[in-house]
Amino acid sequence: MPLPPGSDALTRLRRTIFRAPGPLRWVAIGTLIGLVGILVLVGVVVSTRLGGVPVVDARSTDGDGGNRGIAAAPLGVAPSPGTPPKPLPDGYVPLVLAAGKVCPAVPAARIAAQLMAASGFDPEVLGEDGAEGVAQFRPELWRAYGPSATASPTDPNTAVPALGVAMCALVQDFEQLDGEPYPVALAAFQWGTEAVREAGGVPDAPSLRTFAEMVSDYTAYYERDDRLAPRSATPTRRGPSSPSPTPGGSRPPSPNPTAPGSNATNASPAPTTAAPPTPVWQERVVRSTTVLRVGQSWTSNRLQLTLADGGDIVLKDQGRTVWKSNTGGRGGELLVFQADGNLVLYSRVGATVWSSHTPRNNAAVLVLRADGNVVISANGRTVWQTGTAK
């Protein structure tokens, strides 16, 4: 019976090993076993790399002209159409409220709805075209609207307020188009401004329509969240023991001490004018992340810190200007007190116009103090001030 190919070579190798002297025999056997192990390990690695299956993002392309592609396996999964809305997590409430104050077109309920549709409030979602984080910022959008070069879109403390800034800027960019600019801004956030401009509005793509419908449905849900739209307090009713005002709001006339029948013998001297009371000035604490647009202010009963027309930051003490950033005419449109403790004035395209240069001070607060000074304080230490205390 003929031997299989290679059997003669194997036989000769086996005979050579076992005829070798004792020490050499064991060296040869160990070398052979090591070579076999290396070959098995290389085979496993090659098989794994060649046989791996690419993971496609959970959202379908829906025939969008190849605008979506293969992405890394997501750590979290974005909601699919028909997913019921989740209650807004408590930790997101102040962030969503701050983002919803940037402009009237993108209120807090829309911010919450977009976050729900994009990630279900999961900051670990990795989406298409490099989108990541709770708001699903694509890299180019994050470069334009992220608060700083070191900030990450996977951090909700920076991503959520940045979403308000980005969406309001996109709404403003597309106000000249016919129709409601918000859906156009929503499409631009997902696909980019160039795709929207080429289409002259929202591109005719099923995925964009589906996402817009999800945001609309979720917005109706979050509009009923009292934490995002607190109800006004009911006026306190006057108790039964409270004195009623006289008709017409007038007080009863005081008796005339010189009138006939009066017990007074001499007229009372004219009352002296009392000195005005000393004002009790209050502090105003601004916590991150909070945004001012042009014309908006942080105020106390003494101070007013305003982002004025032209992009100048102006501090007024009892109506009198006491400090300015001298940034007028440089295009500043957004003043942001960030989660890292930095106070930054951004242009429309996200460029830094002015900064307090106080990053890496997490949990810092901006305080309009009762003494007339405005400071950024971190752990009880002043890291920046206007120097206007009196």
Which CATH number fits the domain that encloses residue 123? 1.10.530.10
- Does residue 272 sit within a domain? no
| 54, 272, 353 from 133: Cα distances, Å | 21, 68, 27
- Does residue 123 sit within a domain? yes
Residues 210 and 130 in one domain: yes
- Does residue 249 sit within a domain? no
**Residues in contact with 282: Cβ distance below 8 Å, sequence separation at least 6, in sequence order:** 300, 301, 302, 370
Residue pLDDT, tens place only, 35-47: 777 877 776 555 5
Residues 207 and 107 in one domain: yes
H helix or E strand, kind and range, residue 166 = helix 156-173
Q: How confident is the model at residue 233 (pLDDT cuts 50, 70, 90)?
A: very low
Secondary structure of residue 313 in the 3-state scheme: strand
- Residue 288, CA atoms < 13 Å, CB-side half-sphere: 26
Separation CA 111–CA 166 (nearest Å): 11
- Greater pLDDT, 8 or 198: 198
Q: What are phi and psi of 274, to 5 degrees?
A: -75, 145
Residues 216 and 306 in one domain: no
Length of the chain: 390
Residues 200 and 292 in one domain: no
Our count of domains for the chain comes to 2
- Given 206, 222, 238, which residue is the final one in a domain? 222
CATH number at residue 367: 2.90.10.10
Residues 199 and 291 in one domain: no
- Given 222, 251, 266, which residue is the final one in a domain? 222
Residues 201 and 316 in one domain: no
Residues 206 and 301 in one domain: no
The structure's pTM equals 0.46
Residues 206 and 106 in one domain: yes
For the chain, how big is the Rg over CA atoms in Å? 35
Q: Which two tokens stand for residue 77?
A: 């999964």
- Given 222, 240, 256, which residue is the final one in a domain? 222
- Does residue 133 sit within a domain? yes
- Does residue 250 sit within a domain? no
Separation CA 388–CA 390 (nearest Å): 6
Range of the domain at 364: 284-385
Q: What pLDDT, on the 0 to 100 scale, is given for residue 37?
A: 75
Quickly list DSSP for 272-301.
Answer: PPPPPPPP----EEEESSEEEETT-EEE-S
Among 341, 322, 316, 344, which Cα is nearest to 332's? 344
- Does residue 74 sit within a domain? no
Residue pLDDT, tens place only, 165-190: 999 999 988 887 777 899 999 999 99
Percent pLDDT > 70 in the chain is 71
- Does residue 68 sit within a domain? no
Task: Give the CA dihedral 243, 247, 248, 250, nearest 10 degrees.
Answer: -60
Name beta bridge partners: 297. 306
- Does residue 71 sit within a domain? no
Residues 96 and 212 in one domain: yes
Residues 290 and 374 in one domain: yes
**Residues in contact with 377: Cβ distance below 8 Å, sequence separation at least 6, in sequence order:** 364, 365, 367, 383
Residue pLDDT, tens place only, 79-126: 888 899 999 999 999 999 999 988 999 999 999 999 999 999 999 998
- Residue 244 clears pLDDT 60, i.e. is over it: no
Separation CA 159–CA 142 (nearest Å): 9
